[in-house]
Structure 1
Amino acid sequence: MALHYKHKLVRLGFLFFILLAKHNIAAAAKKDKKKEVAVVSPTVQKKSSDADHANTNTKAKLQSEQTELEIENALHRARLEKELSAIISQIERLRVQKERKRLEKETEDENARREHEKAMLLLNMEKEKLNIELELAQARFMKQMEKYNIQLIKLDKEIQLEKGQTQLLQETTNRLQAEIEALQAKAVRDKRIEKKPIYLNDPLNKQTNTLVLSDRCIELNGTITPWKANYIVDQIHYFNNKNSVHPIFLIIGYSSGGFVSAGCNILQAIEHSKAPVYVVVKAFAASMAAIITTLATKSYAYPNAEILHHQPSSWFLYGNLRATKEQYEVLNKIWKRLGGRVAKKMGISLKAFDKKLYEKSMYGDWMEYGDYAKKIKWVDYVINGIQHSAISSLPDAADYSFEKFIKEQYGFNKEKETETSQAVIQYHALAPHDFDYSYNPDKKTQMMMSLQGVTK
């Protein structure tokens, strides 16, 4: 604001000087004109005395004009003086306003300074108060810390004493732990044999009639289900990817057969495996398991192993005449595909095979031991023993229990007979368009399935 007034004063002063200059220039011009008239008049008087009268008139005229000019200059000067007086008055007024604002600003600054000093005084008083409280708190804290330090020194002495006892106890514990680990390692060494599996392209020792197995073994026990078949097939693929030359062994301990589609899945994998897949029957192979044994690349069986063939069956032959006939036709096609291949390997017709089945049993269940099964070409070799070169650790008795057997057979680990029977019912639920190819002499499972269908 002060700078604005300063600029305004400068402009008014500049305007005043311009007006003053204009006034001086006009006055100088009139004075020069008067002198010219004065200079000319004496010259004219010297040249002609006749012109005195005319000069007198001219002089009077010039004096009149001079008087008018003086009056005009006086008026003009008065106007300029009036304008100058107004400018000076305005300048004074602006100066007074500037001075008043300066005094007001000084007053405001003084008030602000006093307020600031007052606030700073209050803050300093608060600071001193806080410093006093902090010093008191530090004094109390130091006093408490001295008390705690005394307790810590006492506890440290006790800890050092107990540490010596703990170290002695730890050394004793470490020594006992080392002894226990040594005993456990010895027990493991006693149960495990450092021996590598034997891989033979021809695994049958013809001198002792013993089959030499490697670690390329796949177990097949219990009912042949789709999920169990998928697991077996994936193992065949794994062993092929690992080595496509050494044989793979499918070991059948006890299997009463199962799903037609699952068994065909396993047969397909066996027939198209790069590495040969040999089937070994230890105890019992019936229905679909017997089909897999007979149609395998090579099959081996103990002399007393039981192999049983029969026709596939269905528990779902119900409905009207047309539906029953269609199911029968599908079942007959399955029998021609599977039973026809078995009959062809035996060297007889399917019709002759059908006849022999029912000659052996009214239910069509034809069972033979391994030594006779070889004669009718259900198995390729009868062996006296098995040398399992991959078994290098002592078996655990917990793996050979009734619960584990039931779990392998039916996929459930049941403790009670009633629960086991229920597991059989659940386990034999067939997939759509599938048929059962299992040995079921007492027909209990089929009966329970029927009752279950009625109660649902």
Structure 2
Amino acid sequence: MFGLNYNCRLIRLGFSFFISLTCYNIALANKTKGKKKEVAVVSPIVQKKPNTNGTDAVSKTNLQHDLEAENALNRARLEKELSTIIAQIEQLRLKKEHQRLDKEIENENVRSAHDKAMLLLNMEQEKLTIELGLAQAKCMKKMEQYHIQLTELDKKIQLEKGQAQLLQETSHRLKSEIEVLEATNTRDKYIQKKPIYLKDPLIKKINTLVLSDRCIELNGTITPWKANYIVDQIHYFNNKNKEYPIFLVIGYSPGGYETAGCNILQAIEYSKAPVYVVVKSFAASMAALITTLAPKSYAYPNAIILHHHPASFLCGNFNLRATKEAYTNLDKTWKRLGGRVAKKMGISLERFNKKLYEKSMYGDWEEYGDQAKKLKWVDYVINSIQNSAISSLPDSAEYTFEQFIKHYYNANPTKTIELSAEEIAYNKLAPHDVNYSYRPDHKAQMMGK
């Protein structure tokens, strides 16, 4: 479009130039006529000179020829320039026409490619439309199936909700009944009664010992970790109150580690609150030493107190020096512990040693509580114990053979039963310690490691 407008402008310019040239020729011709008139007017003035009419005619003719020649020359020059301009205009027109044709061809190619692309897109659209229609049909079919399933599930859910609600109501009712039963059972198991604290816990009229909640249980083998637990409880009760007594209650203990027992004795002797030992059933070896050396001790008449020598069960290849060192260590242990028992009894250590073997070939001197009092192994023989701290019904699960073995050996019951007495004692020793305990089979009463 731009090329066509440009060609039109060039054509207008050529016509304008042609019209200008024509106007110039007309003006030039008018000028020539004016000169002729002017010559005619002036000629009377110049008639003073002697001129003839023939000469004037020649001059006019010559002037006219000159003007015509000049006019022809100018016309030829202008025609040539006009031809050149027209030729350029024609070239530009041809060029623009060529460009227009090229542009039309390019546009046609673009249009063709666009039409082809649109055709492909239309075909693809039709294909996708068909596929979409099929997918929608399948989806609608599945949706109908799902709707049917959802309807069935909704019916089941409503049914299950009804059943669940019924179960929940039943559960709430049963829970309420259970809570009522548990509350009743709890009230029956627990007693709302405060412990009795007495500075002198022995009621002499009825020979009954009154225990408070300041009690520490000692059952089974005396081990370092059990001794630490007992000692920490003594510290706790001291921090709580230093006036009322603390009770170390021995149910059934064969003794145990020498260092552990000495740890308990040390805590008992230096406690600001008095620590009293109470023997219910059996206290042997290190447990018997704790009972005898305590500031005050109590025992049932049928409780058994057993003292004996420490003994060594040497396993492996021990030379003479090792045997001598073991004997020296045993002798030191016995002098420290057995010497204190003999002193309380009011006899010498040699006499105490002799009496041990008068009672038993193994050196196990055991006495019931009433006889132990005469020997000053215990301070008081009591008829009964009133434990004012028991405010709940005991759990029967804590009173089984497995629990007894667990406390006695401080180990797994099943595994312990499979071990021999030597293995049990040997496996429980810490480095450089002594297991000072009573064994009925007399095979492993004391061992060093």
TM-score after normalising by structure 2: 0.65
Quote the Cα distance in structure 2 between the aligned partners of 1:137 and 1:106: 45
Q: Does 1:299 align with 2:317?
A: no
Quote the Cα distance in structure 2 between the aligned partners of 1:268 and 1:117: 110
Quote the Cα distance in structure 2 between the aligned partners of 1:213 and 1:119: 105
Residue 399 and residue 162 in structure 1: after superposition, are their counterparts in 2 closer, same or farther (change >3 A)? closer
Quote the Cα distance in structure 2 between the aligned partners of 1:297 and 1:119: 113
Q: Does the 8 Å contact 1:410/1:423 carry over to 2?
A: no
Deviates more, 1:115-124 or 1:144-153: 115-124
Residue 283 and residue 125 in structure 1: after superposition, are their counterparts in 2 closer, same or farther (change >3 A)? same
- Residue type of the partner of 2:439? N
Partner in structure 2 of residue 391 of structure 1: 390
Deviates more, 1:398-407 or 1:239-248: 239-248
Partner in structure 2 of residue 268 of structure 1: 266
C-alpha displacement at 1:337, in angstroms? 0.9
Quote the Cα distance in structure 1 between the aligned partners of 2:445 and 2:336: 24
Residue 316 and residue 445 in structure 1: after superposition, are their counterparts in 2 closer, same or farther (change >3 A)? closer
Structure 1 alignment gaps of length 5 or more? 1-103, 450-456
Quote the Cα distance in structure 2 between the aligned partners of 1:332 and 1:105: 127
Q: Does 1:335 align with 2:334?
A: yes
Q: Does the 8 Å contact 1:311/1:437 carry over to 2?
A: no
Quote the Cα distance in structure 2 between the aligned partners of 1:420 and 1:268: 33
Q: Does the 8 Å contact 1:412/1:423 carry over to 2?
A: no
Quote the Cα distance in structure 1 between the aligned partners of 2:305 and 2:407: 19
Q: Does the 8 Å contact 1:217/1:251 carry over to 2?
A: yes
Of 422, 434, 442, which aligns to 1:425?
A: 422
Quote the Cα distance in structure 1 between the aligned partners of 2:435 and 2:174: 59
Q: Does 1:223 align with 2:221?
A: yes
- Residue type of the partner of 2:275? V
Residue 113 and residue 375 in structure 1: after superposition, are their counterparts in 2 closer, same or farther (change >3 A)? farther
C-alpha displacement at 1:211, in angstroms? 1.9
Partner in structure 2 of residue 170 of structure 1: 168
Q: Does the 8 Å contact 2:313/2:443 carry over to 1?
A: no
Classify the secondary structure of the residue corresponding to 2:228. Answer: helix
C-alpha displacement at 1:279, in angstroms? 1.2
Quote the Cα distance in structure 2 between the aligned partners of 1:152 and 1:402: 60
Partner in structure 2 of residue 366 of structure 1: 365
Classify the secondary structure of the residue corresponding to 2:292. Answer: helix
Residue 167 and residue 353 in structure 1: after superposition, are their counterparts in 2 closer, same or farther (change >3 A)? same
Residue 232 and residue 105 in structure 1: after superposition, are their counterparts in 2 closer, same or farther (change >3 A)? farther
Q: Does 1:142 align with 2:151?
A: no
Of 201, 207, 217, which aligns to 1:209?
A: 207
Q: Does the 8 Å contact 2:311/2:445 carry over to 1?
A: no
- Residue type of the partner of 2:359? K
Q: Does the 8 Å contact 2:438/2:445 carry over to 1?
A: no
Q: Does the 8 Å contact 2:422/2:443 carry over to 1?
A: no
Quote the Cα distance in structure 1 between the aligned partners of 2:103 and 2:346: 130
Aligned pairs for 1:44-83 (under 5 A) are none
Q: Does the 8 Å contact 2:436/2:445 carry over to 1?
A: no
Residue 243 and residue 129 in structure 1: after superposition, are their counterparts in 2 closer, same or farther (change >3 A)? farther
Structure 2 alignment gaps of length 5 or more? 1-101
Quote the Cα distance in structure 1 between the aligned partners of 2:295 and 2:122: 104
Classify the secondary structure of the residue corresponding to 2:419. Answer: helix
Q: Does the 8 Å contact 2:311/2:330 carry over to 1?
A: yes
C-alpha displacement at 1:220, in angstroms? 1.5
Partner in structure 2 of residue 90 of structure 1: none
Residue 117 and residue 190 in structure 1: after superposition, are their counterparts in 2 closer, same or farther (change >3 A)? farther
C-alpha displacement at 1:282, in angstroms? 0.6
C-alpha displacement at 1:242, in angstroms? 4.6
Q: Does the 8 Å contact 1:315/1:446 carry over to 2?
A: yes
Counting matched residue pairs gives 346
Q: Does the 8 Å contact 1:279/1:293 carry over to 2?
A: yes
Aligned identity (percent) is: 73
Residue 414 and residue 441 in structure 1: after superposition, are their counterparts in 2 closer, same or farther (change >3 A)? closer
Partner in structure 1 of residue 91 of structure 2: none
Partner in structure 1 of residue 354 of structure 2: 355
Partner in structure 2 of residue 191 of structure 1: 189
Classify the secondary structure of the residue corresponding to 1:433. Answer: coil
Deviates more, 1:210-219 or 1:438-447: 438-447
C-alpha displacement at 1:423, in angstroms? 5.2
C-alpha displacement at 1:154, in angstroms? 4.7
Q: Does 1:439 align with 2:423?
A: no
- Residue type of the partner of 2:422? I
* Higher gyration radius (CA): 2
Q: Does the 8 Å contact 2:437/2:445 carry over to 1?
A: no
Q: Does the 8 Å contact 2:306/2:365 carry over to 1?
A: yes
C-alpha displacement at 1:443, in angstroms? 1.9
Quote the Cα distance in structure 2 between the aligned partners of 1:162 and 1:271: 71
Classify the secondary structure of the residue corresponding to 1:313. Answer: coil
- Residue type of the partner of 2:358? E
Classify the secondary structure of the residue corresponding to 1:437. Answer: strand
C-alpha displacement at 1:363, in angstroms? 3.1
Quote the Cα distance in structure 2 between the aligned partners of 1:406 and 1:377: 31
Residue 409 and residue 117 in structure 1: after superposition, are their counterparts in 2 closer, same or farther (change >3 A)? farther
Q: Does the 8 Å contact 2:250/2:281 carry over to 1?
A: yes
Partner in structure 2 of residue 410 of structure 1: 409
Of 289, 308, 330, which aligns to 2:287?
A: 289
Quote the Cα distance in structure 1 between the aligned partners of 2:270 and 2:257: 20
Q: Does the 8 Å contact 1:251/1:282 carry over to 2?
A: yes
Partner in structure 2 of residue 57 of structure 1: none
Quote the Cα distance in structure 1 between the aligned partners of 2:345 and 2:185: 52
C-alpha displacement at 1:298, in angstroms? 2.2
C-alpha displacement at 1:327, in angstroms? 1.6
Q: Does the 8 Å contact 1:291/1:338 carry over to 2?
A: yes
Residue 149 and residue 436 in structure 1: after superposition, are their counterparts in 2 closer, same or farther (change >3 A)? closer
Q: Does the 8 Å contact 2:255/2:436 carry over to 1?
A: yes
Partner in structure 2 of residue 32 of structure 1: none
C-alpha displacement at 1:401, in angstroms? 2.6
List per-residue Cα deviations over 1:330-356 (Å, max 9, x = no partner).
111111111122222233332332233
Quote the Cα distance in structure 1 between the aligned partners of 2:270 and 2:114: 100
Residue 265 and residue 163 in structure 1: after superposition, are their counterparts in 2 closer, same or farther (change >3 A)? same
